[in-house]
Amino acid sequence: MMTEKMVAAFNDQINKEFFSEYYYMAMSAYCESIDLPGFASWMMAQAQEEHAHALRFYQFVLDRDARPTFAAIDAPKEEYDSVLDMFEHVLKHEQFVSKSINELYKLALEEDDYPSQIELQWYITEQVEEEKTAKEIIQQLRWVGDKSTALFMLDQKMAGRGTAEAASAAE
Burial of 32 (0-12, 13-18, 19+ CB in 10 A): middle
If one asks whether residue 15 binds ligand OFO (CB under 6 A), the answer comes out as no
Nearer to ligand OFO, 125 or 156 (CB): 125
If binding is defined by CB under 6 A, does position 21 make contact with ligand OFO? Answer: no
Contact call for residues 64 and 115 (beta carbons, < 8 A): yes
Nearer to ligand OFO, 3 or 22 (CB): 22
* Residue choice 45, 61, 97, 137 for contact with ligand OFO (CB under 6 A): 97
> Is residue 53 near ligand OFO by the rule CB under 6 A?
yes
Residue 161 in contact with ligand OFO, rule: CB under 6 A: no
CA dihedral 50, 60, 170, 15 (to 10 degrees): -20
94 sits near ligand OFO (criterion: CB under 6 A): yes
How far is C-alpha 74 from the geometric centre of its chain's CA atoms? 15
- What CA–CA distance (Å, rounded) separates 27 from 83? 9
Q: Which residues bind ligand OFO (CB under 6 A)?
A: 17, 20, 50, 53, 94, 97, 130
